[in-house]
Amino acid sequence: MSDTLLEVRGLRKHFHPKRRVTVRAVEDVSFSIRRGEAFGLVGESGCGKSTAARALLRLIEPDAGSVRFGGADVLTARGASLKAIRRRMQIVFQDPYSSLDPRQSIGGALTEPMRVHGIAEGRDARRRAGALLEEVGLPPAALDRYPHEFSGGQRQRIGIARALALEPELIVADEPVSALDVSVQAQVLLLLEDLRRRRGLAFLFVSHDLSVVRWFCERVAVMYLGRIVEEGPVARVLNAPLHPYAAMLRDAYPVPDPAHRAALPRIIGEIPSAAAPPPGCPFHPRCVHAMPRCSTEPPALLAKDDGAVACHLHG
């Protein structure tokens, strides 16, 4: 059996909010995730990371590219085969409240997907749902309560339990702790890490927060204006980034070793609109290392050492 669980190649998603306006939200994004691996996708708000995550799950339909999951072709799957793939890839949202029906009990929210996917029903489904709640640190008595009766952290635990209800192999966690208080963030991250180890789950962890990604992930890809600009082992990318944008991002977050902060440039300027990305390297208007060719020649993402980088300084 291949070690690769998810393989994304050339994923593209454009939006057309008005006539003659094209927002290039995701452009030629490629990465892979091994079984049981935690892979981070980071970047500023609006860089396309959440859109890429939703497109590979087909919560929105991508325009181009390929997504293979456990050998199955996700983008051409239909009917029963798509349903089977969806069962194995689940998502945890930033705001679980918006994804929980306020009129449905927690028991209903957990047993419904089991029934729809033919995993369990009736008493068996309820017993499984109670066990899931215990696994995420909530009492089984919570089955008969409703979403508004829980705190934000508890609701996120319920969202995690619901994702686990279909016994997935991959969890796409889209900013799963950024809406929570810092103390609660740590508890939920510890829970996710514990589940990952016990169940052998792989994660696509989408976040703007490098400190969280540094703690949780093994590898990371940095996105800018819809494209991956650097990818590699998380410790190397965040401690010694090759791409100037990854260096800027890293500089925006405190790191334990002050030696890694000294020579880094500060965040400069605003992220340009994905409806009118700059020509050449899209980062050139903000880059302190920009050269004349950077405003005309787009750099390709090329393999470099233990990862890949898209920058003329390195290619």
Give the count of beta carbons closer than 10 Å to the beta carbon of residue 173.
26
Interacting residue with ligand SF4 among 60, 119, 179, 313 (CB under 6 A): 313
Cβ-based nearer residue to ligand SF4, 216 or 245: 245
Looking at the Cβ atoms of 46 and 278, the one nearer to ligand SF4 is 278
CB of 272 to ligand SF4, least distance (A): 13
Q: Which is nearer to ligand SF4, 163 or 287 (CB)?
A: 287
Distances (CA, A) of 47 to 25, 205, 298: 7, 15, 17
CB of 312 to ligand SF4, least distance (A): 4
Task: List, in sequence order, every residue forming a beta bridge with 177; answer none if it has no partner.
Answer: none
Minimum distance from residue 123 beta carbon to ligand SF4 (Å) = 59
Asked whether position 93 contacts ligand SF4 by CB under 6 A, the answer is no
Q: Is 30:8 a contact under the CB 8 Å cutoff?
A: yes
Binders of ligand SF4 among residues 280 to 309 (CB under 6 A) are 281, 283-284, 287, 289-291, 294, 299
Would you count residue 312 as binding ligand SF4 (CB under 6 A)?
yes
We find the least distance from the C-beta atom of residue 302 to ligand SF4, in angstroms, to be 11
CB of 297 to ligand SF4, least distance (A): 8
Q: Smaller CB distance to ligand SF4: residue 208 or 312?
A: 312
Size of the site for ligand SF4 (CB under 6 A): 14
**Is the Cβ of residue 126 or residue 243 nearer to ligand SF4 in the bound state?**
243
Place of tokens 């689940």: 90
Q: Minimal distance in Å, beta carbon 268 to ligand SF4?
A: 11
69/245 with CB nearer ligand SF4: 245
Give yes or no for residue 228 binding ligand SF4 (CB under 6 A). Answer: no
Q: 18-57 mask for ligand SF4 (x: CB under 6 A)?
A: ----------------------------------------
CB of 310 to ligand SF4, least distance (A): 7
Distance CA 241, CA 245 (A): 9
Q: Write each residue from 229 to 248 as x if it is in contact with ligand SF4 (CB under 6 A), else as -, in one continuous string.
A: --------------xx----
Task: Tell me the chain's radius of gyration from C-alpha atoms.
Answer: 20
**Residue 63 vs 297, nearer CB to ligand SF4:** 297
Q: From CA 74, how far away is CA 87, in angstroms rounded? A: 12
Cβ atoms within 10 A of the Cβ of 71, count? 10
CA distance 45 to 208: 7
Which residues here bind ligand SF4, judged by CB under 6 A? 243-244, 281, 283-284, 287, 289-291, 294, 299, 311-313
